[in-house]
Amino acid sequence: MSQTLTIATLGAQGDGIAETPQGPVFVPFALPGETVRAEVGKGKAVLEEVLTPAPERAVPACRHFTDCGGCAVQHLGAASYADWKREKLVRALTMRGIEAEVAPLIGCPPASRRRVTFTARKLKDKVLLGYNAAQSHRIIDIEECPIALPSIVAAKEDIRQLAGLLAATPKPFRITVTATATGLDVSVDGAGRLGEKQRRKAVDLALGAGFARVVAGGEALVESARPKVIFGGIAVSLPPGGFLQAVETAEEAMAGLVRDHLAGSNFTADLFAGSGTFALRLARQGRVHAVEGDAAALAALDEAARLSPQLKPVTSERRDLYNRPLLARELDRFDGLVFDPPRAGAEDQCRQIAKSKIRRIAAVSCNPGTLARDLATLLEGGYRITRVTPIDQFLWSPHVEAVALLERGR
């Protein structure tokens, strides 16, 4: 049923929220202060018309906006957008009873994402390549993508052709494309079992397109150049499917905050170290012990450290920190620590950190909720927060990163 609604607030996922006698109604692509007409059903609505636009309403940057599920708030002006993302972090901290200085959002520009994951599907007469519609398996066959680096967008048709060659299933599959210093690194998962003819054609296409590497189902089909990324001036060979911060400027902002906070540390632990995003930068100013559960990522870090004699000693340890966190007595040999876990956070590890004597900690997170939980544990253990900084690297999405800096209280 079509209703006229007044939008009160902007929700955590970017939906406008209207308060009604029947409860809140979530209206995608509507903004606070707007009067809209929408088709309403079971607390969710489909926007039909904006009757009274908010001053913050902006012209979306992409023709696929509202259909493609990749972006939620392209219609929100830049200043309000930055406030909304910062407030998500403030709210998460407040819910845990944490009072801390939260800096303004460090933003990222359009056309800066160096890693994107497309969904592809081969039909009888065409190959779909794009992103899923919001809360749907329907693939939006994209013509543009204003968040991705131009080098990725320019290769879209070559990637589409590659998808058509590798598709051995009628089902959708994923293609992750990473722009590296040596070219595009393309990883295909779920495309089905390859035949020899498919393999040869895919290799020829990859070489012709100038891709650095193509991996399908975990197997490297071709590698004309080792995909390299640069962490603070140190070249690292990116393993297939290895974790990488999505936007280089966001990574640099995070690393700068971490490096400056831990500048006085002589021996730093880097937990959930990946391929060395922080460890290799920190090793310019002191010894580093990197702990990571993924063997390929740790091997890349080790190789980069060995080939960089200008760094202080870097040691490494393969360890599943979820099942076997470093104990407080193991942590006491460090005077600085950085941790950057997956979205689940580092709950058990933080219990051990809270018991340790480490002087300074930098907590990096992609989930404000689990970050707030982990910070509460550290505060109970006697640490104090000096600053929390929200960082954007998933432009126009609900996701926000953060770096929290802590010191052992006196």
Active site positions, annotated: 366
As a whole number of angstroms, the longest Cα–Cα distance in the chain is: 69
How large is the C-alpha radius of gyration of the chain? 23
Q: How far apart are CA 132 and CA 114, in angstroms?
A: 19
Beta bridge partners of 24: 19
| 3-state secondary structure (DSSP) of residue 69 | coil
Based on the number of CB atoms within 10 Å of its own CB, is 59 exposed (0-12), middle (13-18) or buried (19 or more)?
Answer: exposed
CA 266 to the chain's CA centroid = 30
| Token couple for 231 | 């962490």
CB of 394 closer than 8 Å to CB of 14: no
Q: How far apart are CA 215 and CA 371, in angstroms?
A: 33
Nearest to 274 by CA among 253, 302, 249, 252: 302
The angle formed by the CA atoms of residues 126, 129 and 130, to the nearest 5 degrees, is 145
Nearest to 31 by CA among 45, 52, 48: 52
Residue located via tokens 């707030």: 372
Q: What are phi and psi of 195, to 5 degrees?
A: -90, 165
The angle formed by the CA atoms of residues 16, 21 and 24, to the nearest 5 degrees, is 25
Helix ranges (H only) for 170-294 are 196-209, 248-261, 279-282
| Token couple for 81 | 């957008």
Torsion angle defined by CA atoms of residues 324, 330, 336 and 341, in that order, rounded to the nearest 10 degrees: 0
Q: How far apart are CA 163 and CA 280, in angstroms?
A: 35
Q: How far apart are CA 390 and CA 374, in angstroms?
A: 16
CB of 390 closer than 8 Å to CB of 100: no
